[in-house]
Amino acid sequence: MTALEFTIVVWALSALAGFLGALTGLGGGVVVVPALTLALGVDMKYAIGASLVSVIATSSGAAAAYVREGFSNIRIGMFLEIATTIGAVIGAFLASRVSTHALAIVFGLILLQAAYMSFKGLPENAEPVASDALATRLRLGGAYPVAGSPQTYGVRHVPAGFAMMFGAGALSGLLGIGSGAVKVIAMDRIMRIPFKVSTTTSNFMIGVTAAASAGLYLKHGYINPQVAMPVMLGVLAGALVGAKLLVHMRVKTLRMVFGVVILALAIEMIVNGIARKV
C-alpha cells in the first residue's frame, strides 16, 4: 500500500469513526484504535496517540453544535472533568509501562460491559428524575429540547458518578478512547441524566480529557503526524455530520448503534489481545 492509499484509507475509516463517535458520545477513538491496529497493522500505542488527537477533533467538531442546540450540560461537564482529567494524566503515565496485549484485553472488557449496559438501557420514554440534595446544591440539573419544547431533568448519585469519571479518565490515558463509553454509562445509568444529554455532554468533555493525556503521548514519541493528521481530519468531518443527525434520531436507535458498535469491537479486541496479534 502506497503512502497516498494509506492516507485515504485512514481518512475514510476515521470519518466513519467520527460519525459514530458523535452519535454515541464515544469520541471516535473506540473505532480508530482497533481499525488502525487490526486492519492496517499500526502499532497500538501509535494508534492510541492518533486517537487522542482525533478525540480532541471530535469534541471540537460535535460539541459546539450540541451546545448551540441546547443538549450539552456544560456545568455537569466541567464539574466531572475535574475527575477525568486527573485520571487521564495518571493513565497516560502508566501507559508506557503496560503491554499492548494487556491494553487490548482491558479495552475489550470495558467495551463489553458498556455494550451490555447499553442494551439494558432505560426505556426511551423514561421520566426525568428530580435532583437529589447534592445535585441541587451544585445546580447540576438542566433542560434540553424535546419536540421543540424544553424538558427539564434532574441529576442523582453525584459522588458515584464522580468516582466513575476518574476511572473513565484513567482509561482514556491508557487506551486513547476518550473513555466516552464509560462516561455515557456513568451519566445515563448512575446519574440518571437523559441519554441524549449524556452523549452530547460526553462529547463536550472528551476533548479536555484527551488533551490532558495527549501531551504525555507526544513526549514519549507516540504521536506520528503521518497517522494522526488523516485521522484528525477524517474524524472531524464525520463528527460534524453525526452532530447534525443526532438531534433528529430516536433514543432507542442511538442506544442500538452504541451497543452494536462497541460489542463487535470488544469481541475483536479481546480475541486479538489474547492471541497477541496487537
Q: What is the pLDDT of residues 207-266, one digit of tens each?
A: 776 777 787 788 888 899 889 999 989 988 888 888 788 777 777 787 787 778 778 878
Nearest to 189, CA basis, from 177, 176, 198:
198
**Residue 130 reports pLDDT greater than 70:** yes
State residue 278's pLDDT score: 58
pLDDT average, residue stretch 167-192: 76
pLDDT average, residue stretch 37-57: 83
- How many of the other CB atoms lie within 10 Å of CB of 241? 16
**Residue 125 reports pLDDT greater than 60:** no
State residue 155's pLDDT score: 95
Q: Which three cell numbers stand for residue 177?
A: 478512547
pLDDT average, residue stretch 141-149: 87
175 SS3 class: helix
Q: Which three cell numbers stand for residue 3?
A: 503512502
State residue 75's pLDDT score: 92
pTM flag (> 0.75): no
Torsion of CA 51, 56, 59, 64, to 10 degrees: -150
Per the structure, how many domains does the chain have? Answer: 1
Element (H, E) at 22: helix 3-24
Domain with 59 in it: 3-274
State residue 176's pLDDT score: 58
Q: Which three cell numbers stand for residue 45?
A: 500505542
Q: Which three cell numbers stand for residue 19?
A: 460519525
Nearest-angstrom CA–CA distance, 162 and 84: 8
